[in-house]
Structure 1
């Protein structure tokens, strides 16, 4: 069961947020579904024929973000996607809140990276899958 239909993240400067979220969402394979002067959307929006999709909205909110333990976590299909998410975020104004790596205190294959966006929101990408088994050659 996918629990979330959509989630919204507020930012005080949409122009500053746009390159950051464009980059990290592209690294995770999420397409942009809208780009407005006061809001950005990524993922797939649900409709009557597709009730399983999820969408992220980034919207203009002049309120200061401030320090918070609240964060948003996005699924990655591979550890390489987690790494790409992290590098994309750093290269577009984000700050590290935890380098890519295993977090075995969650479970043995929990591979994640944590970023703080330019506004101060905390985001994460996680891959729950074990790494692919190495190929073996028969001799």
Structure 2
């Protein structure tokens, strides 16, 4: 549905580092940086969807950002990397069967208080 999502962050360097490390297992990488008022564009080369971060002086409203994983190992890797990058636990990897039988997800709180989720909808391989 989405082509890209852009939002402001209070600490550009910390947020860029956090999202790059946390989403590395999904194949996310820097696509562009330094375009005026655009900040950094992080892209998933398979889906071609991107996340754009820019510095703001405004206090960002908290978001819930959910990223799709191809398998449960990517969810686990996201969770470990996000915590190592300074994220705060908001739900360890596991099944959330109240959504559906194969909803395997992990949640962390990022630098600006955003709830960042990675979810796999596939059964365990």
- Range class of TM-score, shorter chain: 0.7 to 0.9
Which is higher, the Rg of structure 1 or of structure 2? Answer: 1
Q: Deviations over 1:1-52 (max 9, x none)?
A: xx1111113211101112111101212112220233962211158xxxxxx6
Work out whether 1:82 is the aligned partner of 2:75: yes
Question: Cα RMSD (Å) of the superposition?
Answer: 1.9
Q: Does 2:32 correspond to 1:4?
A: no
- Residue matched to 1:43: 43
**Aligned CA distance change for structure 1 residues 27 and 44 (closer, same or farther; 3 Å):** closer
Length, aligned pairs only: 122
CA distance in 2 between counterparts of 1:63 and 1:113 reads 28
Task: Measure, in 2, the Cα distance between the counterparts of 1:74 and 1:93.
Answer: 18
Matched, 1:64 2:59: yes
- Unpaired runs of 5+ residues, structure 2, are none
Q: Does the Cα contact within 8 Å between 1:39 and 1:59 map onto a contact in 2?
A: yes
Q: 1:114 aligns with which of 94, 104, 107?
A: 107
TM-score, with length taken from structure 1: 0.79
Is the Cα–Cα contact under 8 Å of residues 25 and 42 in structure 1 kept in the other structure?
Answer: no
In structure 1, list runs of 5 or more residues that go unmatched. 46-51, 133-139
